[in-house]
Amino acid sequence: MPIITLTTDFGLADGYVGTMQGVILSIAPKATLVDLSHQVPAQDIRAGAFVLYQAVPFFPPDSIHLVVVDPGVGSQRRAVAIRTSQGTFVAPDNGVLSYVLAATDDYEAVSLTNPAYQMPQISTTFHGRDIFSPAAAHLANGTPMSELGPQAINLVRLPLSTPEFSPGGGLTAHVMHVDHFGNLILDVTADALEEEITLELAGHRIQGMSRTFADVAPGKLVAYVGSSRDHVEIAVRDGDAAQELGVSVGDQVLIHRIQ
Amino acid sequence: MPIITLTTDFGLADGYVGTMQGVILSIAPKATLVDLSHQVPAQDIRAGAFVLYQAVPFFPPDSIHLVVVDPGVGSQRRAVAIRTSQGTFVAPDNGVLSYVLAATDDYEAVSLTNPAYQMPQISTTFHGRDIFSPAAAHLANGTPMSELGPQAINLVRLPLSTPEFSPGGGLTAHVMHVDHFGNLILDVTADALEEEITLELAGHRIQGMSRTFADVAPGKLVAYVGSSRDHVEIAVRDGDAAQELGVSVGDQVLIHRIQ
Amino acid sequence: MPIITLTTDFGLADGYVGTMQGVILSIAPKATLVDLSHQVPAQDIRAGAFVLYQAVPFFPPDSIHLVVVDPGVGSQRRAVAIRTSQGTFVAPDNGVLSYVLAATDDYEAVSLTNPAYQMPQISTTFHGRDIFSPAAAHLANGTPMSELGPQAINLVRLPLSTPEFSPGGGLTAHVMHVDHFGNLILDVTADALEEEITLELAGHRIQGMSRTFADVAPGKLVAYVGSSRDHVEIAVRDGDAAQELGVSVGDQVLIHRIQ
């Protein structure tokens, strides 16, 4: 049986995630469930997309990734399933699969409209339980995706964060994610950078890239190639860079070649 | 093997929940474990009861629901197992199963007193590990409930939150749960209401019921039939109603027919 | 298949833990995964060690305990696997296994250097995913530990918290852990104490040991033998002792015989 991963903004307090797991296991009792995150900030579609972006490459390609960050639940937004060479994704069509779609031109997608693969009663506010969980479970059982509904085209894609070339030379990158440690993940990858660079953010300057945290003294800023698809990251060794610099997602980082 | 769900107020930091899972899997290695919530507010029996109330209908009826919100641990309060048509429940006899008991007149219940189905050493403060987990695991293995101890009668039931008819007409409902999004779940169900109503709480007024969040503008209050057993809910679209209104569990909501 | 437990300071927001589970299940699809804690305070090696100390005795001895609290990731600190009669442990060699090592003189240990049992690309900042998870999964599959790398000697051990005899008589114990409820777990065990004692901390005095919380009135301080290896604990019944007393890990508790 394939793995089903779950990513939501539901938190862990109310039993909403466990309820989804009850629905899944009622349909596919032998599925292996993995929680990616249930602490996506409430209704933050981009943050949910980023969790997937980092995690999906480390799962077998027959895995099913269930994603419910869904501020438009009950409205006209579609519920979809998408299959690419990376995996199968079940989610609202609101851009939460933007990185998945950006990684490939070759995918199939359907709208989840067939009531035979939904809960008998559909609420207007908890499609995670009533539509997405049954769809993921039936796909795990081997139900062909085309059974779940008609082909879906023109899927919603959010503009992805990318660095810009500065008029005066250098690059303006952005913080695309702040993690649990307060480390700043930038939207620039290592291969886009020259060897000797300076990074500036929030009035601070970092000279050169290091290999890892421990290459600088405790409390010092450090830039390095992160663990996630070669994105550049900025941290404070043994500290919380986001908090100490007052930096958050979207903030700019100026990158210059050392002169 | 049946599913065993876990609901506690233990939090996830200390390893207490994982320890319970170690005990369960030592006895029933093939059990499927599902976490409902470990963030029930500390010693809040009603909140624990509510998590079960929402989640249990979405699990197979042969599931075993282990609930440990247990401020009286080590005192004379009983440890019990209860079987109804909805499922099997293992919990302290302190009212945490009040909704389960309110849903049926037909159940069997035992006191968990047989040391053969407990840990060899019983602490005075962690019966979740020493009594409840082994009981759940043995039940999952098919041990008859009557083996675990003698019949238990006169189980503790808490008075459940219910709306009251107001002398001047209309209904006084109450907030029975505030969820992760700050949505307010009321103790009144949709079938008790007329078509055209006004809801008043904390100095705010909501005209009529909507279908879902997206039916109102961002930042606006909205009332709708929630996903949980048709209870009426109040939310702020893309916001946190509890925080913005300063409302918490037990607060009143006045419901009138529109005149 | 053995159980693999996971203990980290990664939090649950970013998908880091789920990513590790993806790596493990890609290699050992039938492993049973149990989360001990992912809320170890960031880079707090002692706190991670304590989670293991409490939980490990409740798992089968063929379990594999994966621990990633790793401030020195990417530096010269070793990655190791250790096997004792209690279980198998996969962790950075930074003292996080101090309690495991203190419990036995009989263990085997290897450095995790064999690239055949690592991810093809090793990041400098996420060895939890690239080195420790594959090692745990291969061990679960039955790979002999000696395949993973050469014998490791002189493992790092942190000095463990222990009570001291006071010059004027009595014992000075310390808070070794504060749990989710604000209960204080001391570094002294019950067998080291006389029957009739007084405990003093933060200007408060507790007369005698009780059996459990419910033996004192709500809001009162209570000392009792905890559920964890007979360590003495201090709590406020239905309250949060750490918060109410302003006490934290390392603080002293003076224990005297009642005169």
- Over residues A131-160, the pLDDT tens digits come to 999 999 999 999 999 999 999 999 999 999
Q: Is A8 on the interface with C (CB under 8 A)?
A: no
Size of interface A-B (CB pairs under 8 A): 96
pLDDT range class, residue A259, cuts 50, 70, 90: low
Q: For residue B168, is pLDDT > 80?
A: no
Name the strand (E) or helix (H) holding B135: helix B133-140
pLDDT range class, residue B190, cuts 50, 70, 90: confident
- Do residues A218 and A136 make contact, with C-beta atoms less than 8 angstroms apart? no
- Do residues C99 and B15 make contact, with C-beta atoms less than 8 angstroms apart? no
* CA–CA distance, A1 with A4 (Å, rounded to integer): 9
- Do residues A241 and A247 make contact, with C-beta atoms less than 8 angstroms apart? yes
Q: Is A191 on the interface with C (CB under 8 A)?
A: no
- Over residues C226-258, the pLDDT tens digits come to 998 899 999 999 999 999 999 999 999 999 987
Measured CA angle at C195 (ends C190, C199), to 5 deg: 70
The residues, any chain, with a CB within 8 Å of residue B212's CB and separated by 6 or more, are A73, A74, A75, A124, A125, B224
Q: Is A180 on the interface with C (CB under 8 A)?
A: yes
Closest listed residue to residue A36, CA positions, set A22, A28, A48? A48
Q: Is B233 on the interface with A (CB under 8 A)?
A: yes
- Over residues B204-257, the pLDDT tens digits come to 999 999 999 889 999 999 999 999 889 999 999 999 999 999 999 999 999 998
- Helix H segments across C41-193? 45-55, 98-102, 127, 133-140
Note whether B55 contacts A22, CB cutoff 8 Å: yes
Q: Which residue of C lies nearest to A11 if distances are taken between CA atoms?
A: C13
Q: How far is CA B49 from CA B21, B55, B137, C12, C214, in A?
A: 21, 10, 21, 25, 21
Q: How far is CA B159 from CA A52, B45, C52, in A?
A: 44, 12, 41
- Over residues A192-231, the pLDDT tens digits come to 787 789 999 999 999 999 999 889 999 999 999 999 889 9
Interface test with chain A among C76, C125, C129, C180, by most A beta carbons within 10 Å: C125
* CA–CA distance, C55 with B18 (Å, rounded to integer): 7
pLDDT number for residue A169: 82
Note whether A58 contacts C11, CB cutoff 8 Å: no
pLDDT number for residue C65: 98
3-state helix, strand, coil in chain A (%, to 5): 25, 30, 45
Tell me the average pLDDT across A27-56: 97
pLDDT number for residue C188: 95
* CA–CA distance, B108 with B81 (Å, rounded to integer): 8
Note whether B213 contacts A11, CB cutoff 8 Å: no
pLDDT number for residue A191: 85
* CA–CA distance, B119 with A149 (Å, rounded to integer): 51
Distance linking the first and last C-alpha atoms of chain A: 56
Q: Is B238 on the interface with A (CB under 8 A)?
A: yes
For residue C241 the two structure tokens come to 């002792």
Note whether A60 contacts C12, CB cutoff 8 Å: no
Tell me the average pLDDT across B4-12: 98
Contacts of A123 in chain B (CB under 8 A): 225-227
At B71, phi and psi to the nearest 5?
-60, -20
* CA–CA distance, B235 with A11 (Å, rounded to integer): 17
For the beta carbon of residue B26, count every other beta carbon within 10 angstroms.
Answer: 17
Note whether B25 contacts C3, CB cutoff 8 Å: yes
Mean of pLDDT over chain B: 95
- Do residues C126 and C166 make contact, with C-beta atoms less than 8 angstroms apart? no
Note whether B212 contacts A74, CB cutoff 8 Å: yes
SS3 of B102, please?
helix
Q: What is the ipTM of this complex?
A: 0.95
Which residue among C55, C213, C238 places its CB closest to the CB of B15? Answer: C55
Minimal C-alpha gap between B32 and chain C (Å): 9
Q: What percent of chain A has pLDDT over 70?
A: 100
Which residue among C39, C225, C238 places its CB closest to the CB of B71? Answer: C238
**β-sheet bridge partners, residue A65:** A5, A89
Q: Is A71 on the interface with B (CB under 8 A)?
A: yes
| Residue A210: DSSP 8-state | B
Minimal C-alpha gap between A47 and chain B (Å): 15
pLDDT number for residue A166: 84
Mean of pLDDT over chain A: 95
Tell me the average pLDDT across B94-115: 97
pLDDT number for residue B92: 98
Tell me the average pLDDT across C141-157: 98
Q: Spell B134-162 as b/e; 16+ CB within 10 A means b.
A: bbbbbbbeebebeebbeebeebbebeebe
- Over residues B72-99, the pLDDT tens digits come to 998 899 999 999 999 999 999 999 999 9
* CA–CA distance, A221 with A239 (Å, rounded to integer): 9
Chains touching A (at least 3 CB pairs under 8 A) are B, C
Q: How far is CA A41 from CA A66, A140, B204, C87, in A?
A: 17, 28, 27, 37
Q: For residue B191, is pLDDT > 90?
A: no
At C36, phi and psi to the nearest 5?
-80, -60
Q: What percent of chain A has pLDDT over 90?
A: 91
- Do residues B183 and B234 make contact, with C-beta atoms less than 8 angstroms apart? yes
- Over residues A82-138, the pLDDT tens digits come to 999 999 999 999 999 999 999 999 999 999 999 999 999 999 999 999 999 999 999
Name the strand (E) or helix (H) holding B22: helix B16-27
Task: Provide the whole-model pTM.
Answer: 0.96
* CA–CA distance, A173 with B192 (Å, rounded to integer): 56
Q: For residue B154, is pLDDT > 90?
A: yes
| Domains in chain C with CATH codes | 3-148 (3.40.50.10790), 164-257 (2.40.30.90)
SS3 of A47, please?
helix
Q: Is C22 on the interface with A (CB under 8 A)?
A: yes
The one-letter amino acid code at A96 reads V
Q: Which residue of C lies nearest to B12 if distances are taken between CA atoms?
A: C37
pLDDT number for residue B258: 76
- Over residues C77-97, the pLDDT tens digits come to 999 999 999 999 999 999 999
For the beta carbon of residue A204, count every other beta carbon within 10 angstroms.
Answer: 15
- Do residues A180 and C14 make contact, with C-beta atoms less than 8 angstroms apart? yes
Note whether C16 contacts A211, CB cutoff 8 Å: no
pLDDT number for residue C228: 84
SS3 of A169, please?
coil
Distance linking the first and last C-alpha atoms of chain C: 56
* CA–CA distance, C139 with C114 (Å, rounded to integer): 13
* CA–CA distance, B82 with B63 (Å, rounded to integer): 12
Chains touching B (at least 3 CB pairs under 8 A) are A, C
pLDDT range class, residue A167, cuts 50, 70, 90: confident
pLDDT range class, residue C259, cuts 50, 70, 90: low
Q: Which positions 46-65 of A are in contact with C (Cβ < 8 Å)? A: 51-52, 54-55, 58-60, 63
* CA–CA distance, B221 with B239 (Å, rounded to integer): 9
Query: What would you measure as the largest C-alpha separation in chain C, in angstroms?
Result: 66
Closest listed residue to residue A223, CA positions, set A237, A236, A233? A233
Note whether A227 contacts C14, CB cutoff 8 Å: no
- Do residues C50 and C99 make contact, with C-beta atoms less than 8 angstroms apart? yes
For the beta carbon of residue C106, count every other beta carbon within 10 angstroms.
Answer: 7
Size of interface B-C (CB pairs under 8 A): 97
Q: Which residue of A lies nearest to B217 if distances are taken between CA atoms?
A: A72
Note whether B227 contacts A123, CB cutoff 8 Å: yes
